[in-house]
Chains A and B, each alone.
Chain A
Amino acid sequence: MTVGPMLDEWYPVGIFGQLDEAGRKTMLMDEPIVVARDGNGDAKVTDSSGRILPVRVRYGHVWTSLGEPKKELFAIPEADQPGRRFVDVGVVRVRCSPLRAVENFLDIAHFPFVHTDILGAEPHTEVQAYKVEIREDVDEVWATQVQFYQPQAAKSASGGITTQYMYRVAGPTSTVLYKTCPPRPSEWDVITLFVQPLAEDLCDVWPWMALFDDDTPMTDLIHFQQTIFLQDRSILENQVPRLLPLDPGMEMPTRADLTSVAYRRWLKRHNYTYGAQLVAQ
């Protein structure tokens, strides 16, 4: 398997605040790497031959690339907005394709069945029409005007509300969602899923959040998001086929799957195929 153009993209490889000089041994797309803090306190990433890889420290995490990034790491302007709380949710390993982890994050229709009584509840199962586009200027997938009824949309929500969402795919394994911020209706809460591809069917997932919520203790914010993601994990580990199919085959997408369809199309257009299945089987 050659990695192809995904080699030149940025990937999360650790929480910056948890680095030490001994370093964290991990993998990036089958390549062993070490993520450490050097004598100056800066993040340093090396591959198995000792080569120093490009590094960015952003959004609580260390980012690197095995290739030569043609673009700067994507921007999340909300990360610099005063008053937000930034939450490093912590790593969770999932035995699934990194692309499937992203695709699941983009899906709304599963909320009532997997995140019952939190992000959805029967009989409120309808996904209303929303808009999806590939924004050519920034080369990102965006879904907007998404809305869904949620019994407990956020830790800061006190009851059921109809939540507005925007979804954004900012890199092949990096996705950001913007959702109604219950305490501050004019702003969006930012919830991300940063996925570190270890192998084509194995990934470390690093959720991160930038929220307006002055009341909820940090631990409760972490646990809310861990609860949601761990409800997804067992589903992700049982998806068949293991790799994300990019060619039309046995699957029949519905209207609710428009974001997934656009994501797959975008992956295919860029030849981002690490973790993908190309010929329908």
Chain B
Amino acid sequence: MMKLYDYILSPSCYKVRLMAALTGVKLDLRAVDFHPGLEHRGPELLALNPAGSIPILEDGDLLLTESSAMLVYLAAKAAPGWLAGSDAEEAARVQQWLSFSGRLTASLGGARLHEMLLRPGDIGVLQSQGIAALRELELGLVEQAERGKRFLAADRPTVADIACFPYVALAPDGGVSLDPYPAIRLWSRALRSLKGFIEMPGIHRLHELKPEPQLEAGGA
């Protein structure tokens, strides 16, 4: 079984847990004491990943330290429909958003760590870079909608959506509001509606759709 070095509050780790859940892959989770223990900076984990970051995914001889690579690996093994198809434009869009997700991590992720777990950083810069990234994502989704597509790279969810979703959904943790972005909210709802979706603290599951209200004939 694949082994994930995991932290329950890490959006990057959640990407991998979510992808695994959506594609039906079972993971062996190894909890890392990121906070308050800083275990990811300890000798055991630095030996696996000199960058000192988590997640880390082990599968036999394969060792991955970049979450986007983990998403691609899980999809390729279990559900290739989550990867780009043969269309050149779609393939490029998947790569574009996978790379873009790093900006979300650096900006919104940094703001979240600063505001929540007291990690150092210039909060004003992190938040404004996060807002710039959200505006770009909102525009990308609006343009996709004009092409008749509901997700970032296609009319079906791909690894690109999973790479971008967690840091966006958790932006309010870092003091960045999602109120100005209707396309992002619709996209978030579409992702949270997927069969097999799992939540993490701060990302709530969609409330069960309630039955239609009984409208009384002749009522006001």
Contact = CB atoms under 8 A, between A and B. Distances in A.
Interface residues of A, number: 25
Contact of B39 (A89, A93, A95, A219): A219
A209 to B, nearest CB: 13
Interface in B114-163: 115-118
Main secondary structure of the interface of B (DSSP, over half): loop
B115 A226 contact: no
A231 B33 contact: no
B37 A226 contact: no
Nearest to B207: A113
B118 A219 contact: no
A218 B175 CA distance: 30
Given A204-B118, A227-B201, A233-B202, A217 B31 contact: yes
B201 A90 contact: no
A227 B9 CA distance: 7
Nearest to A15: B36
A95 B115 contact: yes
Given A230-B201, A230-B202, A223 B8 contact: yes
Nearest to B33: A219
A116 B39 CA distance: 29
A233 B118 contact: no
Given A91-B118, A93-B117, A116-B205, A233 B173 contact: yes
Interface string B48-63: 0000000000000000
Contacts, number: 58
A216 B175 CA distance: 34
B90 to A, nearest CB: 34
A226 B9 contact: yes
Given A88-B36, A90-B35, A219-B32, A234 B117 contact: no
A228 B202 CA distance: 10
A192 to B, nearest CB: 16
Interface string A225-268: 01110110110010000000000000000000000000000000
B80 interface: no
A89 to B, nearest CB: 8
Nearest to B205: A116
18 contacts: A15-B36, A88-B36, A90-B117, A91-B36, A91-B117, A91-B118, A93-B116, A204-B118, A218-B33, A219-B39, A223-B7, A223-B8, A226-B201, A230-B201, A233-B173, A233-B202, A234-B172, A234-B173
